[in-house]
Structure 1
Amino acid sequence: MTGYKGRLTYAKGTYVEFVVAPDQEVDFGDILVVEGKNGDRFYIRAHDFKVKSRWSGINGVNYLMSKLDENGQADQEELAFYLGGNHTVKIAMAEQLCYSDAAGSLFNPKTCPDFFCEVRGLDSDDSALLSELKGDLEFGLLKSGRGVISLPVGIYGAKSIPEHMGIFGTTGSGKSNLVKVLASSLLGNGAYGLLIFDVHNEYFQDLIKHPMAQERLSVYNVNPYSPHEMKLGVGFADIEPEDITACASFTEPQMDALYKLSSVWQDQWVSNVLQYDVADIADELAGCTGQKFQSRTLSKIKSVCWNLQQEFKMEPEGPSSVGSILADLRQGKVVLVELKNVSNVGEQALSTLLSRKILQHSAAMGLEEKDQAKPVLIVLEEAHRFLGKKEYTSNNTFAQLVSEARKFNVGLCVVDQQPRLLADKVLSQLNTLFILGLAAKGDRNKLEAMCRKDILQQRNEIKNLDCGEMIVATNYMRFAAPVKVHKLEDYLERWTQEAMPAVSGNAPL
């Protein structure tokens, strides 16, 4: 990528054109440098191409056509004279990303380069641009066109986590690998908590290989099957009406009864609903509230509560894991909650319960405690089940997380194959987007409209992303960066080689 690429021939605002040198190749998405005057450097990205010739006009075309015989053939030597040599040029169309002055300070586009400035590839001297892309949570290398530059790219967790993230890509685009790489970065960092609802139990077998897994990885399972896992316990007092409504559909009278039960019996409401007959529950509510509820209304609530009791093997005085999960997260650990053997009803209830507890715990902190607490990120896969256009409501726990959690240093990372299914209010709150391969035009258009960075000129690039390639757009980066995501195995191997000497020598990471 380094070296001379061509000369600038046109500039207007942030749009530029340059002639590609005859012996050079420039691809869609290539990030290049225009050398300006007085040490200025303009960073540009190629997004389209055109070929021009002295024969491109209609008169020139007619003249060339006259050289063809009745079979459409021409003398090759004569054709080479007219079309070859310096008669044709390849012109690249590009957008200006940012520029740096002679002192190395980086700025958003404020001016444009001069005519016939040199265009070259990135090299190690472009430290102003490269340093902004590093971050403290690494996930890949900078991609430029068809090539990959040996420059680590990451995000700054303190900035990105509280402002929410979105990971979007079709099946096979590399979403799971990206989440695993991010989790590995968090394990190595130790400055942030991460909660993953592992629906398919696919993360444990990979993350346990991390050198810091013994210290910073906590795994909870309703049915533990290895010594590394802890029993996931849910207490009756942990459950609130929001957890019940997240996993089943209720009519308005059923919702009313649900909240009345919680108000009347407080922490014991689930235990009492399971213990008493429907007729006794109806009499108790009538006596306390003056309302008479039908048996089938209360039976629906009792049925859902019974299902959850069986799902989580809940007992009246059984232990709860909620406190230990909250403590793990605030200590900067990665917490996996394995849900492979849990039904969709149980999964939705548990996801809502733990997320709500994290939000409540964070909101209840004092100022001093809040300043010392580590940011926490919650990963929510197949997010449209909770935050879809129909599912999004003001009393939805995850809707509250999206709108309020940044005040309390809690962030949400939504993972989905079809971003167009998510509510617009959710997408508008995601300040960091990881855009992998998306097959549907509707999904790409939705992200173009909602992305905080202008990615319209990257349509060709996004449309042709291969597995493990993505576009990263975040608030503090000056442009949406193309990235080749690390393969988890390679990243863990490299991290082990670099970090283990420090760990064995008790040196700080």
Structure 2
Amino acid sequence: MAQQQYKGRLTYAQGTYVEFVVAPNQDVDFGDILVVEGKNNDRFYVRAYDFKVKSRWSGMNGVSYLMSKLDENGQIVNQEELDFYLGGNHTVKIGLAEQLCYADHNGQLFNPKTCPDFFCEVRGLSSKDTSLLKEMKGDLEIGFLKSGRTVLELPVGIFGSKAITEHIGIFGTTGSGKSNLVKVLSSSIIDNGNYGLLIFDVHNEYYRDLSQHPKFHDRLVVYNTNPESRHNVRKLALYCDEIEPEDITACATFTEPQLDAIYKLSSVWHDRWMECVLKYDTQDIIEELHECTGQKFQARTISKIKSICWNLEQELNISDTQPNEKASIAMQMMKELEEGKVVLVELKNISPVGEQALSTLLSKKLLQHYAGKTDSERSHLKPVLIVLEEAHRFLGKKELTSQNVFARFVSEARKFNLGLCVVDQQPRLLADKVLSQLNTLFILGLASKADRSKLEAMCRKDILQQRNEIKNLDCGELIVATNYMRFAAPVKVHKFDEFLTRKFQ
């Protein structure tokens, strides 16, 4: 990394707000992270968020005087004379910045405790700023620190042990780099080996890239309902007794009588309820329910349930009751996740109904699996993160009221060493309760002001002063805000192919 570069001098400070004069011939951009050198070997880390230009001619009288040097068409009459008025020490560029954190003479970091003195030197980041850089490195690398238009070769990541169980949000419009970020994060998890990862791959876009990882044979497992002949891809299949009413009600819209019938079927036939729905005729089911519960359901009510169950049976390779628990593909997945593997469930060839049923079932199984362990047993299991794409379908304002498994995940999973990674294009569609529980946010480019405002209101870190920066993020650039970092950091995410090449060359 380049050594420190002189940027200017501090001219004003109040609380965490500072102003500095930008040195001549120096560039300072929106989002630049700078260092104000204190007088006792302490350092103040600040971020520039706006600029203004001041001159002895800035007042109306001065402007009128300068305008008199132009001809009737507004063109310069005497360039040399005008350069004298506009150049030299007559004009200055003022940077407006917010203090991010403070390091004492021992290098220990604190939240802002005081403000720097007048006319202290302002410089760029350098290799001397190890205390700040160490806090941002993490054990799951995602990219390099970005300062203004400059990308510094300083790795930035998250600490999985802190971030995974406290839930993560990845937000950005189409083309902003969400998929690449998930691939890079997945690659870091594969390399690390201390965390499990369950990805519901809606578009089957991750296998091709993640299979390039040198450790993919040992730590990546892929499931597909029709695996064809790809290496490390297993056939996804389920058994009827693994399907619970909640898995069905989460994947389609049912009327009150239909919901009532589903739960009545479960109470009558218990684990075999779906097997019986598929096996028996509509009229036989109606009569059995009437005999056992005293209720007589209409044929179209039962037909709707039979139709949904039949579709799921075909799509998800559901067969009759399993011979033993060891034969369950779902339980096999749970074992792989607790061992710290990345489990990729491909959903491209599955309908939205099947996709929602499968996502709900596997997430519920994982929650039950970890919740059923003692604290001692759980301490030997790896923390697991679930990646949920297009999350508003499961965690929108209306969906959350149904208390589905993902709603429980948000509120309960942390104590069981589980976490949720919510990926979405429109965070405003998510329930406020969900956004408030996401302690780590990756904010990529967002075109909608409503989306940006929603994240500003819900983010644990104050990102109001980064509005200009967030608004102008390019593809692959993001702001990461997490609980244990002292400020929201700008990052240039690695391109997946380049990341693998650099790391394993």
Q: Deviations over 1:219-265 (max 9, x none)?
A: 11111121321111111011111110111101111111111211221
1:71 Cα shift?
2.9
Secondary structure at the counterpart of residue 403 of structure 2:
coil
* Structure 2 match to 1:295: 299
Q: Give the conservation status (yes or no) of the 8 Å contact 2:272–2:321.
A: no
Q: Find out whether 1:68 has 2:76 as its counterpart.
A: no
Q: Aligned equivalents of 2:291 and 2:72: distance in 1?
A: 101
**2:379 pairs with 357, 371, 392, which one?**
371
Secondary structure at the counterpart of residue 209 of structure 1:
coil
Q: Give the conservation status (yes or no) of the 8 Å contact 1:167–1:433.
A: yes
Secondary structure at the counterpart of residue 197 of structure 2:
strand
* Structure 1 match to 2:365: 357
1:199 Cα shift?
1.5
Q: Give the conservation status (yes or no) of the 8 Å contact 2:236–2:317.
A: no
1:341 Cα shift?
1.2
For 2:424, give the aligned amino acid: D
Q: Aligned equivalents of 2:458 and 2:410: distance in 1?
A: 15
**1:108 pairs with 108, 111, 115, which one?**
111
**1:44 pairs with 41, 46, 65, which one?**
46
**1:433 pairs with 436, 441, 447, which one?**
441
Q: Find out whether 1:486 has 2:494 as its counterpart.
A: yes
For 2:315, give the aligned amino acid: E
- Matched ranges for 1:49-60 at <5 A: 49-60=51-62
Q: Aligned equivalents of 2:42 and 2:64: distance in 1?
A: 45
For 2:431, give the aligned amino acid: A
Q: Aligned equivalents of 1:446 and 1:218: distance in 2?
A: 36
- Matched ranges for 1:79-158 at <5 A: 79-158=82-161
**1:461 pairs with 469, 475, 487, which one?**
469
- Matched ranges for 1:92-491 at <5 A: 92-225=95-228, 226-317=230-321, 320-491=328-499
Secondary structure at the counterpart of residue 139 of structure 1:
strand
Q: Aligned equivalents of 2:72 and 2:401: distance in 1?
A: 71
Alignment TM-score, normalising by the size of structure 1: 0.96
Secondary structure at the counterpart of residue 307 of structure 1:
helix
Secondary structure at the counterpart of residue 466 of structure 1:
coil
Q: Give the conservation status (yes or no) of the 8 Å contact 2:440–2:482.
A: yes
Q: Aligned equivalents of 2:175 and 2:427: distance in 1?
A: 16
1:317 Cα shift?
4.4
Q: Aligned equivalents of 1:31 and 1:218: distance in 2?
A: 41
* Structure 2 match to 1:504: none
Provide the aligned C-alpha RMSD in A.
Answer: 1.1
Q: Give the conservation status (yes or no) of the 8 Å contact 2:427–2:455.
A: yes
Alignment TM-score, normalising by the size of structure 2: 0.97
Q: Deviations over 1:304-338 (max 9, x none)?
A: 10110111222214653101100000000000011
Between the aligned residues of both structures, percent identity stands at 74
Secondary structure at the counterpart of residue 148 of structure 1:
strand
Q: Give the conservation status (yes or no) of the 8 Å contact 1:278–1:298.
A: yes
1:394 Cα shift?
4.3
1:294 Cα shift?
1.7
Q: Aligned equivalents of 1:77 and 1:227: distance in 2?
A: 73
Paired residues, what number?
497
For 1:273, give the aligned amino acid: V
Q: Aligned equivalents of 1:140 and 1:356: distance in 2?
A: 32
Q: Aligned equivalents of 1:59 and 1:227: distance in 2?
A: 77
For 2:297, give the aligned amino acid: F
* Structure 2 match to 1:18: 20
Structure 2: gaps spanning 5 or more residues: none
Q: Aligned equivalents of 1:128 and 1:112: distance in 2?
A: 19
| Range that drifts further, 284-293 or 121-130 | 284-293
Secondary structure at the counterpart of residue 133 of structure 1:
helix
Q: Aligned equivalents of 1:340 and 1:482: distance in 2?
A: 33
Q: Aligned equivalents of 1:355 and 1:273: distance in 2?
A: 24
1:76 Cα shift?
1.3
Secondary structure at the counterpart of residue 259 of structure 2:
helix
Q: Aligned equivalents of 2:446 and 2:236: distance in 1?
A: 36
Secondary structure at the counterpart of residue 38 of structure 1:
coil
Q: Give the conservation status (yes or no) of the 8 Å contact 1:471–1:483.
A: yes
Q: Deviations over 1:406-429 (max 9, x none)?
A: 111110001011111111111111
Q: Aligned equivalents of 1:372 and 1:404: distance in 2?
A: 19
Q: Aligned equivalents of 1:285 and 1:111: distance in 2?
A: 73
1:297 Cα shift?
1.4
Q: Give the conservation status (yes or no) of the 8 Å contact 1:394–1:400.
A: no
Secondary structure at the counterpart of residue 27 of structure 1:
coil
For 1:71, give the aligned amino acid: N
